[in-house]
Every structure is written in structure tokens, then in C-alpha cells.
Amino acid sequence: MSSTRYESILLFGAPGAGKGTQGHILGQIPGFFHLSCGDVFRTLDINSPDGREIYEYSSRGELVPDATTIKVWKRHLDALTVLSVYKPYEDVLILDGIPRNRSQAKILEEHVHVLQIVHLVCPDTEAMIRRIRRRAIRENRADDAHETVIRKRFEVYEAETRPVLEYYPKSSVSDVDAIGSPAEVLLKILKCVVPVQNAHFRHELPEE
């Protein structure tokens, strides 16, 4: 495999903060490519060894072991690169759902160069739980269907994932208020990430 480190921006925040929604929108903008670790997991065959292991942990609201997480994520990213779906010399990689603990952050240094962390802040936990449950119904996501599992995810986030922010320099972390319509939140995020994109990539003018 290539030793290239991919230029990346992390979307960070508690469950339900809107990382997936904002990542998907950003991924539609030329110059950005969005990859959600949760989406990668959900593409796996549930009957495969990796699929069974991931479902075993996610169905309980627990973190998937680091080795499995990184292996599955990197294999998927490599495939996208080979197929030229993701073009690392043209696009900033927008990541959400990874890293989920400090150990993963350290391992990821081999694969990605983190330019910035966009921290989506939503202090109302109950509002985020309601958002997750609505999403579970709308998208038929079994991992979000049970409130006990959702609350377990928040406990894991506070204990293991939130400390990831301390792994990176404070100067690279931008807090963004996650309250508001998707368009409002997107506008705040763009003010953070567009200068970062411009500083690292040159883009030709679009053809008319």
C-alpha cells in the first residue's frame, strides 16, 4: 500500500451532533471528499467475519476494537483511491466517526495528516438523543433504535472519544455551534474549512 498521508479534516462531536449530515453535504462540494466510518461499517456483509464483529460491538453501543476499525476503514479508503472515486491530490478528505479514541488517533497519524478538527458542539444531550431516534426511524438504522444503546454510546463518547480533542493542538480545533438548520451549521463550518482547503490545494476555475 502507498505510504501517502491524506490531507484531512475531522468532523468531531457527540452522537447526534450532525457529523454525518454535514459531512455528506460537504462531500458534494468539489474539493472535498467525505468518508464516514459508520457508513463504511454499514456496507459490510453482516455475515462476514468483520461484519459480525462490528455488529457485535455496535449493537451494544460499544467501540469496535482499534485493529478492526483501522483495518476496515483503510481497506475501504484504499479501494476508493484505486478506483479514483477519491482523488487525494485534488480533494481534502472529510472524516467523521474516526478516530474514536486516543489510540486510534495515534495509529491514524500513519495514514492521514489532520489539517483541522471541526468540533460540532451541542450541549443538549436530550435533544441529540431525540435526533438520533428520529434518524433511526427515517433510515431504518438498528444501531440507533434503542434508547439504552444510545445512552451507552454517550457514556462511551465522554469516556473515550471526547479526550481525542486533547490529542491535537488547540490551534487546530474549531468549535462550531451545532444548533440550527443544516444550512446554518454548514455556513459556520465553511467559514472554518474553506481557508484550510485553499491553503493546501490549488483548483482550476470550473469550465463554463
Helices 19-26 and 182-200 pack at an angle, to 10 degrees, of: 50
- The reply to whether 207 falls in a domain is no
For the chain, how many structural domains are there in total?
Answer: 1
| 177 DSSP β-pair partners | 121
- Please report the pLDDT score of residue 175 as a whole number: 96
CB-CB contact of 20 with 107 (8 Å): no
Q: Please indicate, yes or no, if residue 205 is contained in any of the structural domains.
A: no
pLDDT tens digits for 183-206?
999 999 999 999 998 887 765 445
User: pLDDT tens digits for 59-111?
Assistant: 887 888 899 999 999 999 999 999 999 999 889 999 999 999 999 999 999 99
pLDDT band at 16 (very low <50, low <70, confident <90, very high): confident
Cell numbers that stand for 18 in this block: 450532525
Cα separation of 88 and 8, whole Å? Answer: 9
High-pLDDT (> 90) share of the chain, %: 54
CATH number at residue 159: 3.40.50.300
pLDDT of residue 139: 66
Domain that holds residue 12: 6-200
Assess if residue 185 is contained within a domain.
yes
Does position 39 have pLDDT exceeding 50, yes or no? yes
Q: What is the pLDDT of residue 142?
A: 60
Beta strands in 63-179 (DSSP E): 92-96, 112-121, 173-177
Q: Between 66-82 and 49-58, two packed helices, what is the crossing angle to 10 degrees?
A: 130
Within a domain: residue 10? yes
3-class secondary structure per residue, 28-84 = CCCCEEEEEHHHHHHCCCCCCHHHHHHHHHHCCCCCCCHHHHHHHHHHHHHHHHHCC
pLDDT, mean of residues 33-54: 89
In the chain, the percentage of residues whose pLDDT exceeds 70 is 90
